Structure 1
Amino acid sequence: MCGRFIITETAPDLAAMFDVEHEGENLPEPSWNIKPTEQIPVVLESAKSGPVVRRLESARWSLVPSSATELAVGYPTFNARAETAAEKPSFRASVAAKRALVPATGYFEWHTVGTTKTPYFIHSDDGLPLAFAGLYSWWRNPVLAADDPARWVLTATILTTEAEGPLRGLHDRMPVVLAEEWWDQWLDPHTLGDQALLDAAVAASRETGAALRFHEVAPVTGNGPELIEPVGERASI
């Protein structure tokens, strides 16, 4: 699973990295401790008003399907299982045509032994940002006027799959990490998404996922760069 992650790049950095053509408003600042329902940067492509435009937008991390009557659904939707997302009512429409990339410098995972949970920081082997496969949805607030700009809320989720390589020793699930050669196909709103596409994306992510590195960190509290320092280095400061 992926219940906490970090993104240390700024919006202009992300726009350059993902060849973004439009930067949205109120994009979140870098954070070392992002939790579900907080705002996260997402990359998506839209084609409603003509040519496809790649956008960097701020989304609420926990997908709310457009059919929902309230913003807070009664079950967790910050992650979606890649094996079943195409058939789940909450995610099916997003799989079809509303797929996103969720930039991340890395994420936290807790290894559990008995009642002890030890946090680890997981990141790329070269220190470059990762691109998680995500889904998005626009939720309309029914109590706000049609001309209220706050009426539409962008929400998103991160797809997960079975853990690869040494990560299996930490947790049985991990985010689907897409290599750059997959970005265009994943984002293209004209590509009809189905379970076959999800399976292909997961298969393509195996090599990237197996190359991830991790190290133990101190309890994840607060918000700052010290959260990702290895336990020994942090203790010596």
Structure 2
Amino acid sequence: MCGRFTLTTDINAIAKAFNVAPSLQTQPRYNVAPTQNIVSVLRDGDTHLDWLRWGLIPSWAKDESIGSRMINARAETLAEKPSFKRLLRGRRCLVVADGFYEWKQEGKTKTPMYITMKDKELFAFAGLWDVWKSPDNEIVRSCTIITTEPNELMSTIHNRMPAILTGEAQQDWLNTDEHDEPFLLNLLKPFSTDAMEARPVSRQVNNPRYDSAELIA
């Protein structure tokens, strides 16, 4: 799964990496957690940065509490589950990150591991998004992060990993004219082990109230 991640990169560098305008105001985040707003790339008319709440609230949901249970979606079942099938065909997004956490079982304890690219560059998780209208007419745009089978590195830590997309795959994923499910699902492969590295970090990351550079020191 993917339950926490980081985005410490300056907004101008984010905008340059995804060839969009720096239209958001951000600050370094070292412990991004579910139900928080996260930086995403959407192609909703034009391609742009936007805030999405992490934890999908489907348009048909009766209340927003379902979002806390839909932070991740399995790539293998996207085309089967009603909550995701419609979004797979028409509401895909990128979730911007520069690292993520996963917990490694070691005996009776779980050690938080911080996973990044070896070159420390930005990357993007594949996501799905939707729009929900509350009973008092509040509009909430939310998303889920897609997970897939682990690569060799991640398999030593956990049995899932977020689906990470690179340049051409990012454009294919955002292409609103692309509706072919087998093609889209084929993009959601385990990312190359050779490009990634992992190391243990502070257990303070277990608490979403902690959000400082000390977490990855």
What TM-score do you get using the length of structure 1 for normalisation?
Answer: 0.84
CA contact (8 A) 2:41 2:47 kept: yes
* Counterpart for residue 28 of structure 2: 30
Aligned residue for 2:79, secondary structure, equals helix
Gaps of 5+ in 1: 48-52, 145-150, 230-237
Determine if contact 2:124/2:166 at 8 Å carries over to the other structure: yes
**TM-aligned CA deviation for residue 197 of structure 1:** 3.0
Give 1:16 shift.
1.8
- What is the SS of the residue equivalent to 1:127? coil
Shift of 1:140: 1.3
Which residue identity is paired with 1:143? D
Residue correspondence of structure 1 range 1-237 to structure 2 within 5 A: 1-21=1-21, 23=23, 27-47=25-45, 53-73=46-66, 76-144=69-137, 151-194=138-181, 196-203=182-189, 205-207=190-192, 209-219=193-203, 220=205, 221=207, 222-229=210-217
RMSD over aligned Cα atoms: 1.8
Change (3 A) 1:140 1:10: farther
Query: Distance in 1 between the 2:99 and 2:111 partners?
Result: 17
Q: For residue 211 of structure 1, report the CA deviation from its aligned partner.
A: 2.4
- How many angstroms does 1:69 deviate by? 1.8
| Superposed displacement of residue 112, structure 1 | 1.1
Letter in 1 for 2:50: E
Aligned identity (percent) is 37
Q: Distance in 2 between matches of 1:142 and 1:93?
A: 23
Corresponding residue for residue 235 of structure 1: none
Q: Deviations over 1:13-52 (max 9, x none)?
A: 222211125736xx553210011001100001013xxxxx
CA distance in 2, matches of 1:72, 1:2: 19
Q: Residues of 2 paired with 1:227 and 1:214: CA distance? A: 14
* 1:147 aligned residue: none
Residue 74 of structure 1, CA deviation: 7.3
| Aligned-partner Cα distance in 2 for 1:23–1:32 | 21
Are residues 22 and 214 of structure 1, via their aligned partners in 2, closer, same or farther at CA, if it must alter by over 3 Å?
Answer: closer
What is the CA distance between 1:198 and its match in structure 2? 3.8
- Paired with 2:168 and 2:96, the residues of 1 have a C-alpha distance of 15
Aligned residues: 213
- After TM superposition, give the deviation of residue 71 of structure 1 in Å: 1.3
Shift of 1:193: 4.9
Give the Cα separation in 1 of the matches to 2:22 and 2:179: 23
- Contiguous gaps of at least 5 residues in structure 2: none
CA gap of 1:179–1:165, structure 2 versus 1, over 3 A, is same
Residues 30 and 186 of structure 1: is their aligned pair in 2 closer, same or farther, counting only changes over 3 Å? same
Cα 1:164–1:11 change in 2 (3 A) is same
CA contact (8 A) 1:95 1:193 kept: no
Structure 1 pair 121/75, CA: closer, same or farther in 2 (3 Å)? closer
Which of structure 1's runs of 4+ aligned residues deviate more than 3 A? Answer: none
**Does the 8 Å CA contact 2:57/2:130 hold for their aligned counterparts?**
yes
